[in-house]
Structure 1
Amino acid sequence: MKTDCVFCRIIDGHEKGQILQIWPDAIELRPLNPVTRDHTLIIPRKHVVDATSDPVTTAMAARRASHVARKGQHITVNIGAKAGQTVFHLHWHRFTCMGRKCMPWGCPA
């Protein structure tokens, strides 16, 4: 655990978080500032800075995200501050498409 990582502290029970699902290798958590009503984060228990740091952990977390995703949703990951990553512990976002507001290139409405 990294003591300065909010996700590590939540996983270890040292900080509160709205955990929705628990697996042996990951958790699903409601973010503090969701972009949609059903926005969740899939976070590996192992501290990995981003998706480029550990491909095996990244793939495992993506597999967990695919288990909870539904048709019409996005599962996405930000890599680094320039891509919008604000917590430097790998996490996949799952959220329902909001039409053209979802992604810069737009989504079908």
Structure 2
Amino acid sequence: MTEPCPFCDIVAGLAPATVLARWPDAIAIKPIDPVTKGHVLVIPRVHVDGPAEDPMVTGAVMQRAAEYAAATGRPFNLVISEGREATQSIRHAHAHVVPRAAGDNLPLPWTPQQAAV
């Protein structure tokens, strides 16, 4: 038996979420714990565990995320992760649109704010 997927439940309307945009192939939702003001998750409507499982789905999600981000007119990061070690906490491919601002102090794994291992 497979584990329940919270993103599949959201897409199916079985779990609550603040849906910010809808497309035929994806939805954008407000995350439970946003890292910056305006942080959004873009989730494909079909379940794939991670971005490497179906590159076509991943490409569509990144397109929607880029469209959403561009419409904000703000600087942003687009982040997509594969695997727990890469910070993927839910096994359903998704992209983060993370708006950025000068001095927001949000470190990324490859920025100088992070200590070297």
TM-score with structure 2 length normalisation? Answer: 0.83
Report the residue type matching 1:81 in the other structure.
Answer: R
3-state secondary structure, aligned to 1:66: helix
**Count of matched residue pairs:** 106
Aligned partner of 1:76 among 79, 86, 95? 79
RMSD: 1.8
Do the aligned partners of 1:3 and 1:9 also contact (CA within 8 Å) in 2?
Answer: no
Structure 1 residue 37, shift from structure 2 partner: 1.1
In the alignment, structure 1 segments of 5+ residues that lack a partner are none
Question: TM-score, normalization: structure 1?
Answer: 0.89
User: Where do 4+ consecutive residues of structure 1 move more than 2 Å?
Assistant: 97-102, 104-107
Structure 2: distance between partners of 1:13 and 1:104: 34
| Superposition map of 1:1-109 within 5 A | 4-70=4-70, 71-97=74-100, 99=103, 100-106=105-111
Give 5+ residue unaligned stretches, structure 2: 113-117
Which residue identity does 1:92 align to in structure 2?
A
- Report % sequence identity: 35
Is contact 1:21–1:27 with CA below 8 Å preserved after alignment?
Answer: yes
